[in-house]
Structure 1
Amino acid sequence: MKNFFKLAIIFFSFIYSISLNDGRPTHHFCKKAAKSDPNLSYNFCVRSLEANPKTQNATLEELVNISIKLTISNATNISSSISQLLNQKNLDAYTRGALQDCLELYSDANSELNEAMCDLKKKDYFKANIDVSSAMDSSTTCEDGFKEKKGMVSPLTKENNAFFQWTAIVLAFINMLS
């Protein structure tokens, strides 16, 4: 009888935890990630990952791989947007320089994220963490480049913020793995 009550408590605890997460791994892992990093948005994490159908029943390792691939894609898209902005003829020299710096930063970020993928395949979570952290700095460094000139507004704030979130998700998931 005593074992029955223990099993019942474990079962109902499990059912309760599933209901809190809506039974989806993204909810569970995003909630855990957001608790570990105050800069990470739970809603961004869930919304972004659930847009990909492969996340529906993904394990943590699969979520890490999916999120890093999405982060690489995001860096590529930002680089493309920057290239389009650089094609505008009416840019002042300061803006053009800042955009060129950002283009280089995101190119480097792409390389660092690809290196992190290799690290993850080798289960070298320490090195993967360093590579993703380095890539994460691209967004803040890019944004800061525009702030150096008084009155200058970055045309990439939305993209930089999203990229920061993506890298924060990847880092949180890597930390859960290690």
Structure 2
Amino acid sequence: MTEFGKQSLQAILQDLKPRSHFSYRQQKISNKERNSGIFLYGFPGNSPHPLLIIPHQKGSNIAATSVDIINQTCKTCADESYTVDYIFCLTSLQVIPVSHVTNLHGLALIAMELALRNATNTVSGIKKSLNGTAFDPFALACLENCLELYSGSVRTIVDSIGAFVSEHYVIAKVWLSTVMEAVATCEEGFAEKKGEVPPLTKENYDLFQLCNIALCIIHLLTPPLPP
């Protein structure tokens, strides 16, 4: 198993539960809603997915507060899970403009939308690779398996977002964990042949980290069980 995959999958995937269907759709908001603490945000690029409603903060100290919440969230997640890369977390969230005017719920949505964009772009990249001549039959078979895993992951992340916005946090965490298992499986497939260099290591690592960050934030938002 890959270094980034083996560290947490056993612990994270112990309590996988049956899936239900959730979906989320594009929504329109009024100026009144925008002023009340909601921000409609679409990520750059040709994403086929709906825009998300991202909660945002108001006030003169937004900049300082947003930097603090991003830094503190990433630090907390890195402290609680040795599989969370603090620098990756910080840089990934900070480059998204709306992250500087949001709260913890918004950061979770941003991490999941980044994961969705990563998975969608990787599906496109794998399809191009399968149409090329750069890989031998073994690598092509691995890429076909990864394509299936990533295509399923796109749908699972969409369901995770739907579960999260519906406040079904446990289900959202289960599905994010499923995506993390899928990218580890993709990476491991190439290791079955000695000397094979996996062509998707960066994509796999990035998606694993983004889902792990979202997983941690949702855990922070999950109410504790009653005694």
Q: TM-score interval w.r.t. the shorter chain?
A: 0.7 to 0.9
Indicate whether 1:170 and 2:214 are aligned.
Answer: yes
Q: Which has the larger share of helix?
A: 1
Distance 1:23 1:95 in 2: 42
Matches within 5 A, 1:21-32: 23-32=67-76
Indicate whether 1:76 and 2:151 are aligned.
Answer: no
| Max Rg structure | 1
Q: CA deviation at 1:25?
A: 1.6
Residue pair 1:78, 1:159 contacting (<8 A) in 2 also: yes
Distance 1:137 1:90 in 2: 27
Deviations 1:7-66 (A, max 9, x none): xxxxxxxxxxxx9x9843211111111111101111000101111010013110011111
Deviations 1:98-152 (A, max 9, x none): 0000011011111111111111121111100100000111211000000011111
Q: Which amino acid aligns with 1:165?
A: Q
Unpaired runs of 5+ in structure 1? Answer: 1-18
Partner of 1:123: 167
Distance 2:73 2:189 in 1: 33
Indicate whether 1:106 and 2:156 are aligned.
Answer: no
Per the alignment, do residues 158 and 23 of structure 1 end up closer, same or farther by CA in structure 2, a change over 3 Å counting?
closer
Per the alignment, do residues 77 and 23 of structure 1 end up closer, same or farther by CA in structure 2, a change over 3 Å counting?
closer
Q: CA deviation at 1:91?
A: 2.4
Distance 1:46 1:61 in 2: 16
Matches within 5 A, 1:36-115: 36-115=80-159
Residue pair 1:33, 1:172 contacting (<8 A) in 2 also: yes
Q: CA deviation at 1:158?
A: 1.2
Distance 2:66 2:87 in 1: 14
Q: Which amino acid aligns with 2:142?
A: A
Runs of at least 4 residues off by over 4 Å: none
Q: Which amino acid aligns with 2:103?
A: T
Per the alignment, do residues 83 and 125 of structure 1 end up closer, same or farther by CA in structure 2, a change over 3 Å counting?
same
Residue pair 1:120, 1:128 contacting (<8 A) in 2 also: yes
Root-mean-square deviation (Å): 1.5
TM-score when normalising by structure 1: 0.85
What is the aligned-residue identity percentage?
Answer: 35
Q: CA deviation at 1:168?
A: 0.7
TM-score when normalising by structure 2: 0.67
Distance 1:52 1:91 in 2: 35
Structure 2 residue matching 1:174: 3-state secondary structure = helix
Partner of 1:150: 194
Residue pair 1:82, 1:103 contacting (<8 A) in 2 also: yes
Partner of 1:139: 183
